[in-house]
Amino acid sequence: MSTADNKALVQRYIDEVWNKRALALADDLVSPSYDPGLGIPARGADGARILVQVFLGAFPDFALKTEDVFGEDDRVALRFTFTGTQRGPWGGVPATGKAVRIEGTTIYRIDAGKVAATWFSYDGVGLLQQIGALPG
């Protein structure tokens, strides 16, 4: 796949699976070997679906906005803004009803036209401050 194809795949994954909650599409977009991290034991599309559901459990109205996308070879880097309202527990913090807005970056590895790996970083301290778990 070309770099443009890889970038389009990642954007589709964000738009469809994450933002539109079309979790069944993970079967088409995620490699069977994909490891979602965060201690989620499932791999592949099931792991991707569980990862989205973890965020939905705490922030059912969340949205990911793509700010920048860069790609080279089999890697795509995405800078995003995450917004949502904490309606469920997050990191041991009970629901607060507070709105959050954080920024982060994810690097995707693409293999055979599917998301094969991700490495992500986001402002976890800022998130905890916004929900009142840490002082601002």
Q: pLDDT tens digits, residue range 26-65?
A: 999 999 999 988 889 999 999 999 999 999 999 999 999 9
The per-residue pLDDT for 68 is 97
The per-residue pLDDT for 37 is 83
**Long-range CB contact pairs, 85-89, < 8 A, 24+:** 85/59, 85/60, 85/61, 86/58, 86/59, 86/131, 87/58, 87/59, 87/60, 87/61, 88/57, 88/58, 88/59, 88/60, 89/57, 89/58
Across 71-84, average pLDDT? 97
Q: Give percent of the chain with pLDDT exceeding 70.
A: 100
What is the residue-averaged pLDDT of the chain?
A: 96
The per-residue pLDDT for 136 is 77
